[in-house]
Amino acid sequence: MIIKIPMMCRSKKNSEQICINKRTGKNFIAQSELYKEFERNCGYFLNKYQSNISYPINLKCTFYVKDRRKRDIVNLLNAIQDILVKYKVIADDNYNIVQSIDGSRIIYEKGREETIIEITKIRSEVN
The secondary structure of the chain, three-state, reads CEEEECCCCCCCHHHEEEEECCCCCCEEEEECHHHHHHHHHHHHHHHHHCCCECCCEEEEEEEEECCCCCCCHHHHHHHHHHHHHHCCCECCCCCCCEEECCCCEEEECCCCCEEEEEEEECCCCCC
45-64, pLDDT tens digit by residue?
999 998 999 999 999 999 99
Domain assignments of the chain as residue spans, ordered by start: 2-19+29-121
Q: Look up the pTM and report it.
A: 0.85
Q: Give the model's pLDDT for residue 27.
A: 87
Instruction: State the average pLDDT over residues 101-112.
Output: 94
- Mean pLDDT value across the chain: 90
What is the CATH number that goes with domain 2-19+29-121?
A: 3.30.1330.70
CB 105 within 8 A of CB 73: yes
In terms of Cα–Cα distance, which of 40, 38, 36, 56 is closest to 119? 56
CA separation (Å) from 84 to 12, 51, 65, 67?
A: 14, 10, 20, 25
